[in-house]
Every structure is written in structure tokens, then in C-alpha cells.
Chain A
Amino acid sequence: MYSPKLLELFKNPKNVGEMPDADVKVTEGSLACGDMITIFLKISKETKIIGDIKFLSYGCAANIATTSMMTEMVKGKTLEEAKKLTFKEIAEEIEGLPPVKMHCAVLSIDGLRSAIRKYEEERGLVKVPELDESFVRSRLRHIINPKLGRDVVSTGVVENIRVYDGKVEIDLNLSEADEFKNYVVEEIHERFDKLPNIKELKFNFEGE
């Protein structure tokens, strides 16, 4: 069951709409996955404070409500403060999310962080990270194990990661018959396929 607070934000989301004069705009998620958000930010050049934030959403009630909650929580914050916001804090603020919906809060955080990263990269404030095991692991921490509502790394779904010549191989502690196998694989593809430095992505499953 969704919390009353979540349902209220779903019914009447805050900060929804377009922002034609945004300093940065990003879209995270995809139509194929069934959840997709666009984030618009207005950022003060001097203070790096998020003066305004708006979003659009194609997604379920949890997607709309958690993204709305995220926008409320970072408005008026500096970029450094905003980067520290976690999906758990959003889930708490919204008075709980079912484990199977935790990925919605993660998507809203990803949207926010992508927008900030894009803003910083465009202005030469940061450099693009190198492709190695720890980079892959850090990205996998954004994928939620729907059974437990926590990420696939800390819940042991990801066993080993090998990175060589732009190829990434991941051993997953999931059987072919697992109810969420397809979901987890799709989610990983979703995050990695668009990264320019990855040429190939391979999975090994339990019992293979």
C-alpha cells in the first residue's frame, strides 16, 4: 500500500511542468522501462544554489510522487548539499515505499545527480570518470533489488565484476528462473548501454 503522503503528492504533484530558461535539463529512465523523468534546474552561477527545479514524469504513482518530493527537498540547496540527498531520505520523507517501488526514489536521485553532473561537466567543473571495476560497482549501487528494496550490490545479487578492454562482465547471483532476473538485466543495460566507454556487457547467472 502506498502511504497517504505519497498518494497526495501523486494526486497533486509539486514543481511539475517545463522550464524554458533552465540552466540544465536531463532525462533519465526510458519509455521501455516504464519510468522516465525530465529534470530542469535553475542554478545560481555565484552561490551554486538551486533557485528553481521542475520535472516532467512518465511513470507510476511512486515515480511521480518521489520525484515531486525530491524537488521539494533540494530547492534552495547548494549543489554540494543536493548531491548528498539519498533515495532512502526520499523514501523516509514520503513515509515509506514498497521494496518493489524503491527504484522510483533511486530514479529521482539519478535524475538530480545527472543534471548536476551535466551542469558541472558543461562548465568544466569535473572530469569524466575512468571505466574500472569500482566505477561499475558504483553504478550498480543505483540498481535496486526489488525483493528487498536495497541495491543489488549490498544485497549480494552482484557477485563478481570483470572489466577488460571496454568489456564488462558481471556474475549475478540469480537463477534463470528468478522472477526478477529479466528486470535486473534490463536495468543494468539501461544504465550501461549509453555510456560511451563501454563496448560490451555480459552476464553470467547462478548455476551456469
Chain B
Amino acid sequence: MQKTIYLDNATTTTLDAEVLEVMRPYFFEWYGSPTHEYGHTFGLKAREALERSREAVASSIEASPEEVIFTSGGTESNNLAIKGLTLASEDRRHLITSKIEHASVLNVIKSLERVGFRAGYLNVDREGFIDLEQLKNEINEETLLVSVQHANQEIGTIQSVKEIGKICEEKGVLFHVDAVQSFTKVPIDVREMNIDLLSVSAHKIHGPKGIGALYVKEGTKLKPLIEGGYHEFGLRSGTENIAGAVGFAKAIEIVNKSQMEHMRGLRDYLMKGLLEIPDSKLNGPRGDKRLCNNVNVTFRFVEGESVLLHLDMRGIIVTTGSACFSKTLEPSHVILALGLKHEDAHGSVRFSLSKYNTLEEMDFTVENVKDVVGQLRVISPVGRR
């Protein structure tokens, strides 16, 4: 069988075998639902595992365990953070975000706009960094929240979250960070960065799908979206996903610096190889302000879905910002926000790496991308020489 080279790790990752091992007992042995401190053995076992996992998540972002709410993942965390705040707010009706957020932030804010909230969308520069001056000007006495991602899902730009946090603190507005892409790849200290709410997810870091968390700074007024039996401090009801939480904690535990260095090396190697292809250009920044596992390149005169499917036939899994590949038939809003043209989005291909990728895989990828892009350019009506 053909070998698969999986380069779509910003979408989701494989489970680490070690993670599955620690989850297993909570499916077959200790499958009880966690109870309070005076419950039965099954309940206590589950409670203990859940709280241990909560501590692991909390300490990874320098938070207290009581400030961590388990959710079903990044999308739910973003929804809970933003909608939960607006439900609890009596007077402030203005929200600020950036133009390059994930859909689970942008679509939540757009939907709140339709029920009377006002929103400001911050511009980004050519590399995807938000305009801090615009942020300062945009905040007014009506502003409830600033929601800005830590790192971008498509082009890997890492925002200066500490600076944004400082501005929010000075102006007295709440600050939510979608850290789904950066979590464990870039250090996060919610106190030092003055973050009030922060979303993370397990399946991007070789943990299981279906579990994530929201950090809610002590004292932040939030209303639940899912009500019921008062689970998760009354902020997210429903029987807890114990196996998921245990797996999430394990996934965090096995991350180490050398994995990041490994990915960064592969990233720069792959980037260099791909940019040797004529009429190609990098989207997003270079160096330390780019996620260690993200490469995004536009190949002019070709359309991304065709590149993606040809690569798929050769066992290489990537994704694209092309309109043809999106559910709404619209090109990537991130690429457009950089001030680039529609066709720059259609020709953009994202390669996102994991700790499991190898240098040989990068060579194979570069060779095949060269071949596929060349083949598609032969039949393209544009860019003909």
C-alpha cells in the first residue's frame, strides 16, 4: 500500500498511542460518572481523574484548576467564551475581533451582530499581524470584549498577545484568546498576558477529539450555553468526558521542546524547497513569529483543490484556501485579509506538520508538489510562457 504523508495537522492530528493507553481504563474499568467527594467508588475514581486532568491543563497555561472548564473542543470553547459573556453582560454591547479569526469566533460574532451587538473587525498587515493602533482606537466605553487568536490556523502568524493583553487591561475590557493552534507550541501564561478567557483543544496535539477547555479567569461573569446538572462549576452541564480529559492531560504531558525544534527544522526545510518552485510565494511571516509547524505557499496560475487532489493520489495530505474547496465557495478570508487577491487564495496550499513527520517526507513532498504544479500549469490558460 502507498505510504501516507499526513500534512494536515493544523486541522487534526493522530492520537498518540500513549494517550490511548491512559484513556482505556476509563472506558472499561472506571467508566463511572464523577460525583462529589462523598459518592461511590466509581464516582470518586472518575472525579479524581477529572480533577487531575484539570490541574494538568491549568498548569500548562499558569492558571488555577478552578479556572478551567472542560468543553467538547475549540469551537465550543469559543462559543462559550463569547456568547457566555454577552449573556451575562447587561450594558456593554460592543465586541472587537480580527478579520483572520477562526470561523467559530467570526460566525459567533456575526450572529451576535444580528441580535443587536455591534462589532469591530481589526485589520491585519501583509504578514497577518493585527493593527494595535486600530485596536486602541476601536475600544470605547461600550466595548465588552476583545477576542484575538494567539496563532492563525492558515498562515501560522503568532500575535503579540502580551501587548494586546496590556492594551485591554489599560482600557478595562475583557480579553479572549483562541489558542487552539498555538497551545503547547508557544508558551502561554494567562496572568502575565492578562487573558480573561482562553480556548484550547486536545485533538490538535495528538489528544482525542471531542475534548477541549476554556480558561475563565476567576471573577469573570459568564453564563452557560448548556444547562443541566451543574457540571463544570455550572458552566457546562452534561456528564463529563473523563477518558477525553485524561487523554487531554496526557497529550499535554508528552509535549516537549525537542518536538518543537524538530518541527521548526522541517518547516524551514520544506519552505525552502517549495519556494524554489517558480511563481510561488510564502503566505505569513518567517522565523519565530510563525507557528513551528505551519507552511503556507501560493502557487500562481493553479487552483488549490486540483493540487490537493493530485497530491492525495500520491499519498500526500494537505489543504487549500481555494474557494472551490470551501463549504461556502468563498476563498480563504485569511488570505484576502492580508490584502492579497482572490487568486492568491485559490492557489494557496497549507502544509501543517507534526512531531511524526520526517525529513525524507519533506523531500518526497517537495518533489511531488513540483511535479503536480508543473503539470497543472501546462493545462492552465493563465501564466503561459
Contact = CB atoms under 8 A, between A and B. Distances in A.
Interface of A: 7, 10-11, 13, 16-18, 27, 31-38, 56-64, 100, 146, 177, 179-180, 182-183
A63 B329 CA distance: 14
B330 A10 contact: no
Contact of B313 (A11, A57, A59): A11
Contact of A58 (B323, B327, B380): B380
Interface of B: 110-111, 114, 301-303, 305-306, 309-310, 313, 322-325, 327-331, 341-343, 346, 379-382, 384
B329 A100 contact: yes
B381 A37 contact: yes
Given A31-B382, A38-B381, A58 B330 contact: no
A34 B342 contact: yes
Contact of B381 (A7, A36, A100, A146): A36
B329 A58 contact: no
A60 B382 contact: no
Highest count of chain B CB atoms <10 Å: which of A10, A34, A61: A34
A146 B309 contact: no
Highest count of chain B CB atoms <10 Å: which of A32, A58, A59, A179: A58
Q: Which 5 A-B pairs have the closest CB atoms?
A: A60-B324, A60-B305, A56-B381, A38-B381, A32-B342
Contacts of B110: 177
B379 A16 contact: yes
A44 to B, nearest CB: 25
A182 B329 CA distance: 9
B380 A34 contact: no
Nearest to B383: A58
Given A10-B306, A35-B303, A182-B330, A57 B324 contact: no
A177 B37 CA distance: 47
A32 B346 CA distance: 8
A10 B311 CA distance: 13
A60 B343 contact: no
A36 B322 CA distance: 14
A171 B328 CA distance: 21
Contact of A32 (B111, B306, B324, B343): B343
B303 A60 contact: yes
15 contacts: A16-B379, A27-B381, A33-B342, A34-B322, A34-B346, A35-B303, A35-B324, A36-B381, A36-B382, A38-B381, A59-B306, A64-B379, A100-B327, A183-B329, A183-B330
